[in-house]
Structure formats: structure tokens, C-alpha cells
Amino acid sequence: MKLILNKLRKSFEKKDVLCGASFTFETGKIYGLLGRNGAGKTTLFNCINEDLPVDGGSFEVEDEGARRPARAEDIGYVLSTPVVPEFLTGREFLKFFLDINRDRIKNEKSIDEYFDIVSIAPADRDRLIKDYSHGMKNKMQMLVNFIAEPGILLLDEPLTSFDVVVADEMKKLLRNMKEDHIIIFSTHIMELALDLCDEIVILNDGVLQEIDKANLDNSAFKDKIIAVLRGGDNV
Amino acid sequence: MFKTFALSFRLRNTYKINGIIWALKGIPLIRKILPSSLYASRGLKIFANILSGIEEVFMAFLGKLIYLLIVMAAALSMPAAPGSCFAHILIFTTVIGGLLNTQIFEPGRDKFYAVFLMRMDARRYVLTEYLYFMLKMLIGLTIFSLIFGSRAGAAVMTCLAVPVFVICVKLCFTAYTLKSCLKTDSAYNENKPKPPVWILTAVLLALAAVPYAGYVLPEAALPVLAAIMLIPAVFSGRYISGFSSYRRIYKELLHVQDFTAGKSITGTTGAAQQLLLCGFFPRQIPMSTRS
């Protein structure tokens, strides 16, 4: 599968956020989407997820050689501020999610097994999600996206609220998932992007560009990325 | 379809009950009595689902009863023949109901949870809920229009035409609004109608009250209009069932910030706000009285 972005444009009043962003994302890779604060990473994700209409350009999916518009079930979006059903318990959320999506779920596990994946303690599983910490809500949001296994997974700075152990477990999960999925991981933490991601894509001045690591070591690669973000280097 | 309906029904009840428990636990004295383990109580949830089912039936009928009782009382207070007044009022209030009570364009936590958080198929969800809404309308209106319409002196044919007319009008308005949403690329929120809708509503209400001035449409107008509306209603029904952009419309209509905790629906505070926030108060009472 490929996700093909073609000259995406998006403006807010007089500010041009996306200025013809084009890129092709492919299955089997974790893409690190790097950009400065306000570069438009979240806007890009919102456009792909159709939470915001684009002002110009298009995006589509290429699946088994045929191009088509992206469907809702193709895309999973893990937001930086988790959006979860506050008035359900964790268990109820998973139960309903599994009941509703059973036809699409491969290798279904038990609810408690799913909780174990994201290390939610047994005592918390029957608590109202409203009473969960930010990190726990984030885990639930991540978990349902893992369960649904959409072809394209957009992650908007998802690991920042996780503790070190869970963040490491999430990274392992993402690495296991990447083979059959397109994973686009937005962050402004370069070390995380370099650690986890196979490709680095910069969003700068409203356009996307891949930064080729070539034969650079990590330190030189970092310098190259920073130079691009500063606008002092054209790749 | 039934599976979708059962799931959305259970989902709605579950968050309603949890919301009530959560709101009650916000009251200092009660907090100590209610344990948090109540959320996990399967027995409580089953009991709550049964109660909710009973409440659903009761509220569905209550709304129609109040609405048609008011119409009957108004018709009997008018100088013209009550049967004609009954039909006259219903013709105009039904159009108002078509504008302001379609169910599809009412934003609600249940829709947000089902479509976006649970990834339910939007079209299947919308059609299931809409069918349920129309079925309640049909049954409730048939029963109470026969009871109150006959007391107002309306013919049986007129009383039986009431639910048909209402369903037809709603179908037509819904289809028109869906088409319009696609054209304008925006979603109609029936809880926040624009000024032209309010003006039209006021005009229609005034027309409904015209019999007080001695002018009234003939009683036969209602069954005739119901018959005329059947054909566009059939086409509208087909359009609604084939519409494929419900998810897109709900993206416009349902905003994340409206359904996350902390959002105050009214200016109230404390337990009252919490009860409102969790959707405790049935949303159907005020809507169904407008049919």
C-alpha cells in the first residue's frame, strides 16, 4: 500500500501552512515527520484524516496497483491529546470496540491480554476513563488503534506522556506493526525519530522533503536535519 | 442492522449510567456510599439496560402524547370546526418538525462515541438510528392521533394520515438537507438553526394559529397532502438509504471539544452540570413534542 500526497495546500486566514506538500509513503516503514513548532505537522495529519478540508491538492491510496480515495477504515489517528470515551470504563471501551469491529480484527485476543500489552493495571481496568491519567488515556487510544490495525497509522507525538518502560514497549509494537502498515510518526524530538524511524521526512515551509541519511553517522545526520529546518540547506 | 442497533443502544445506556454514577459520586455525602466498583457491576448494567428500555418506550410515547394533547386542546379552543383545526395545526407544526427534528442532524455524544471512537460504520449506524426514530414516530403518532384526533372530531382517515404525513415530511426534509450539506460542504446542526429557519418557524407557527382568526384549511387537506407527499418521500427514502457521506457530515457536525470532559453544556455548576454533561436528561422530550 502507498499513501500518495499530491500538492496539498492548506491555509488559515492569511497564513499558508501547507504549500503544495507532496510525498509518497509506503508500507513497511516508519516515517518520522519532523518539523519545528507550528510547521503544520498536526494540520497535515488532520487533512489526511479529513478532520480538516484541504484547500488544494489531493491524497489517495494505492492498493495492489489501483489508486483510490482513502477510506475511514484505512486510517488510524493517535492524537497528542487523547480522544477517548470518558464515560466508559477501560474494559467497556475495549469490549464495545471489539464487538463493533470484530469482522476486521485479526488474531483477536482477550480484553485482559490487550490491557497487558499497554500495561494497564487490573485495578484500573474497571475504572472510568474519565479518571485515568493523561498517559493512561493515551495508552487506551494507542491500544484501540493497534487493535483496529488500519493500513495507515498517524501518530501525533504519542510517546511524550508515556513512562520510559511503556514508551519502549510501544516502540517495539510499532516496529512489529510496520511490515504491513504505513506508520507516520510526528515528533519534534529528533532522538526519538532517529531511534524509531526508518525514514525522516521534514515538513518545512509547508512542503515535505525526505532527508537521506546516505552514509552519514547519527551526528552528521542530525546536523543535516537541523540545517534543513533552519533553512540553510536544500537537499 | 439489528446488531448495530443493539450495540448502539447498549453503548448509549452504558455511558448514561456511568455518567449518572459519576455525577452522584460528585455529591459529597453520596460519594462515600457509592463504591467505584459499581462501574464494573454487570448486574447493575443489565438492570440499567432494562430500565433504560422501559424509559425509552415511555419517553417515546410521552412526547407524542403531550404534543397531540396540546394540539387537541388548541383545536378545541378555536372558533372553527375542531377537526379541521386539528388537521390545520398539524400541517404547519409538521413542517416545523421537518426543519427542527430530523434526528440525523442532532449532534450527540452517542453519535460521536459510536462513529469516531468505536469506528462504527457511519452509514449503518445512521440508518439504524433513523429507522428506530421513524418507527417510534409512526407508532406513537398513530396511537395518539387516533385518541386525541377523534376527541377533536377529526375523521379516522385524517388521524391515520397524521403519521404518514409526518414521516413523509421528515424524509423529504432529511434528504433535501443531506443534499444541501454536500453542496455547501457544511453540516446542518438542528440544535443551532440559522436565522432564516427561525423566521420560517415563527411564520409557520403563526399560520398554525390562523384558525383563531376564523380561517382554517379544510380537514381533507391533511390526508390529501399526505398522499401527495408519498411519492417524493419514497425517493427521499432511497436517497437517504443510499447516501454514502454520513461520516463526512458528522466530521463537520460533531466536534471533539464538545464531547470531551470539562465542556460545560450550560452555565450550571456542580452535580446538575455533571448530570447534564453525561447526557442524563433524555434529549427526546423537547424534540418529540414538536413531532
Amino acid at B275: L
Give yes or no for A89 touching B (CB within 8 A): yes
B119/A51 CB distance under 8 A:
no
Q: Could you give the strand order of the β-sheet that contains A152-156, starting from the edge strand earlier in sequence? A: A75-78, A152-156, A182-187, A29-34, A199-204, A207-211
Could you tell me the pLDDT band of residue A215, with boundaries at 50, 70 and 90? low
pTM: 0.82
pLDDT of amino acid A116: 92
Average pLDDT over residues B246-263: 71
pLDDT of amino acid B262: 42
> Chain B residues with CB inside 8 Å of A99's CB?
7
Fold classification of A2-82+151-230 is Rossmann fold (3.40.50)
Chain A nearest-CA residue for B4:
A100
A96/B118 CB distance under 8 A:
yes
pLDDT of amino acid A174: 87
Q: At residue B128, does pLDDT exceed 80?
A: yes
Q: How many Cα atoms are found within 13 Å in the side-chain-facing hemisphere of A7? A: 2
Residues within 8 A of A (CB atoms), B 79-118 only: 109, 113-114, 116-118
Weakest-pLDDT range from A217-231, B13-27, B198-212: A217-231
Give yes or no for A126 touching B (CB within 8 A): yes
Q: Cα distance from A121 to chain B (closest Cα, Å)?
A: 15
pLDDT of amino acid B141: 95
Q: How far apart are CA B161 and CA B149, in angstroms?
A: 11
Give the domain ranges of chain B: 59-266+283-288
What letter would DSSP give residue A70? P
Average pLDDT over residues A214-221: 71
Are B279 and B19 in contact, with CB atoms under 8 Å apart?
yes
**Opening angle at CA B177, ends B176 and B180, nearest 5:** 90
Residues belonging to chain B: 291
Q: Cα distance from B4 to chain A (closest Cα, Å)?
A: 8
Give yes or no for A96 touching B (CB within 8 A): yes
Q: Kindly give, in sequence order, each residue whose CB lies less than 8 Å from that of residue A219, ignoring residues fewer than 6 positions away.
A: none
> Chain A residues with CB inside 8 Å of B10's CB?
96
Give yes or no for B244 touching A (CB within 8 A): no
pLDDT of amino acid A118: 87
Q: How far apart are CA B111 and CA B11, in angstroms?
A: 10
pLDDT of amino acid B19: 84
B119/A89 CB distance under 8 A:
no
Average pLDDT over residues A75-100: 92
Give the domain ranges of chain A: 2-82+151-230
Could you tell me the pLDDT band of residue A158, with boundaries at 50, 70 and 90? confident
pLDDT of amino acid A166: 80
Q: Which residues pair with A2 in a beta bridge?
A: A26, A62
pLDDT per residue as tens digits for the range A16-50:
899 999 999 999 999 999 888 888 999 999 899 88
Could you tell me the pLDDT band of residue B17, with boundaries at 50, 70 and 90? confident
pLDDT of amino acid B260: 55
Q: At residue B272, does pLDDT exceed 60?
A: no
pLDDT of amino acid A120: 92
Give yes or no for A55 touching B (CB within 8 A): no
Cβ-based neighbour number of residue B222 at 10 Å: 28
pLDDT of amino acid B189: 82
B119/A97 CB distance under 8 A:
yes
What ipTM did this prediction achieve?
0.81
Task: Name which of B10, B18, B245, B259 to mutate to probe chain A: the one with the most chain A Cβ atoms within 10 A of its Cβ.
Answer: B18
Q: Which of A44, A11, A43, A6 is nearest to A24 (CA)?
A: A6
Q: Which of B7, B39, B261 sits opposite A100 (nearest CB)?
A: B7
The mean of the pLDDT values for chain A is 87
Are B290 and B97 in contact, with CB atoms under 8 Å apart?
yes
What letter would DSSP give residue A89? B
Are A183 and A207 in contact, with CB atoms under 8 Å apart?
no
Could you tell me the pLDDT band of residue A233, with boundaries at 50, 70 and 90? very low
Weakest-pLDDT range from B95-99, B102-106, B135-139: B102-106
pLDDT of amino acid A216: 63
Could you tell me the pLDDT band of residue B259, with boundaries at 50, 70 and 90? low
- B10's grid cell: 447498549
pLDDT per residue as tens digits for the range A116-147:
988 899 999 999 999 999 889 988 998 999 89
What is the share, in percent, of chain B residues with pLDDT greater than 90?
Answer: 49
Are B99 and B201 in contact, with CB atoms under 8 Å apart?
yes
Q: Which of B79, B109, B75, B107 is nearest to B90 (CA)?
A: B75
Chain A nearest-CA residue for B275:
A87
